[in-house]
Amino acid sequence: MEVIIQPNPEIAADWVSRVIAAELRARPETVLGLATGSTVESVYARLVQMCRGERLDFSRCRTFNLDEYVGLSGSDPNSYRHYMNQHLFSKVNIDLRNTHLPDGTAADLAAECEKYERLIAGVGGIDLQLLGIGLTGHLGFNEPLSAFRSRTRVKALSPLTLVQNAPLFSKPDAMPRRAITMGVGTILDCRHCLLLATGADKAEIVAQAVEGPMTSMISATALQLHPRCVVVLDEAAASHLKATDYYRWIFENEPEWEPFRSQKQGDIPS
C-alpha cells in the first residue's frame, strides 16, 4: 500500500483522475472498476473535462461498478446506475453496452451476483478499481464482518450506512435495506486499487484502514493485503495517521510518482 497526501480535496480528486486518465491513455481497452458516493463525484467531473478538452477516449474501455441497491431500477434517481449515467456515462464517449452494474431488480438475486462475477472474469478481470470508503470502513457495501474472501452477493446495510446515505434519498425511509456488492475478495482480485478519501469525518476510519490491524469488522483493512493499492487523501482525511512523514518521503522518492508529484492543480501531466 502507498499513501499519497494532497493539500485539499480538489487536488486529491484531480490526482486520482490523472491516474485513471494515464491508465486509459496507456491501455484504451482497460477494464475500470468504478465507485459511487459524493467523494468521487469530482473525479468524474474532471474525467468529463479531460474527455471534452483533452480528448481522453472512453470508447473502448469497459466498466464495472462496485454495487447497486436491491429493488432500485436503473431509472430510479437514487440508483447507482442513474448516478453513473448522470456523473460520467452520459458525458463521455463511452459505449453504454460496455458499462456494467449489478441489476438490483433481478428476480433471482443470487443468480445475478454469480452472473456479475462471470462477466468480470469474462473480460479478464478489473485492471484499475476506484474506491471510496464509508464511515463503517466499507468498500462498496461490504459492511462489518464481510469475509475477506467474499464474492459478489447481497448484503444487508448497517445502521451507520443507513444514517450516512439515507439523506441522499428524497424520502429517507425509501432507502433500500440491502444492496448487491462486489465482495472483498472480488476487489482484492483487481490488479490495481485506488482509494480516495477526503474530509475530517473520514480521518478516523482511514487511520484504522491503513494503520490498524486487519479485521473483517473494517473491510478496507483488507487492502493491506493488496499488492498494488494506492490510498489518496487530503490533509484532513490524513490527520489521524501516525506515519505521515514516512508516506510523504516514499511519495517524494518513488520514481513511479515522478510525473504525478506536482502539488499544483493543473500542473500534473496526464
**Nearer of residues 30 and 165 to ligand GLP, judged by Cβ:** 165
Give least dist CB 36 to ligand GLP, A. Answer: 5
**Nearer of residues 87 and 258 to ligand GLP, judged by Cβ:** 87
With CB under 6 A as the contact rule, the residue among 134, 137, 176, 183 that binds ligand GLP is 134
Give least dist CB 136 to ligand GLP, A. Answer: 9
**Nearer of residues 185 and 257 to ligand GLP, judged by Cβ:** 185
**Nearer of residues 104 and 140 to ligand GLP, judged by Cβ:** 140
Give least dist CB 231 to ligand GLP, A. Answer: 13
52: cell is 471534452
Q: Which of residues 35-54 bind ligand GLP (CB under 6 A)?
A: 35-39
Residues 6+ apart with CB under 8 A from 227: none
Q: How far apart are CA 216 and CA 150, in angstroms?
A: 11
Give least dist CB 55 to ligand GLP, A. Answer: 28
Q: Which of 223, 171, 209, 164 is nearest to 36 (CA)?
A: 164
Q: Which of 153, 172, 43 is nearest to 102 (CA)?
A: 153
Give least dist CB 168 to ligand GLP, A. Answer: 8
Q: Which of residues 103-132 bind ligand GLP (CB under 6 A)?
A: 132
Residue 158 per-residue DSSP state: P
Residue identified by cell 460520467 is 88
What stretches of the chain show up as alpha helix (H) in DSSP?
Answer: 9-26, 41-53, 80-87, 109-122, 159-165, 184-188, 203-211, 244-253
Q: How far apart are CA 10 and CA 96, in angstroms?
A: 28
Q: How far apart are CA 196 and CA 18, in angstroms?
A: 13
**Nearer of residues 93 and 131 to ligand GLP, judged by Cβ:** 131
Binding mask 2-41 toward ligand GLP (x if CB under 6 A, else -) reads: ---------------------------------xxxxx--
261: cell is 508529484
Length of the chain: 270
Q: Which of 241, 183, 175 is nearest to 207 (CA)?
A: 241
With CB under 6 A as the contact rule, the residue among 34, 66, 70, 84 that binds ligand GLP is 66
Q: Which of residues 137-196 bind ligand GLP (CB under 6 A)?
A: 140-141, 161, 165
Cβ atoms of 217 and 145 closer than 8 Å: yes
**Nearer of residues 85 and 270 to ligand GLP, judged by Cβ:** 85
**Nearer of residues 226 and 264 to ligand GLP, judged by Cβ:** 226
State the residues that interact with ligand GLP by CB under 6 A.
Answer: 35-39, 66-67, 132-134, 140-141, 161, 165
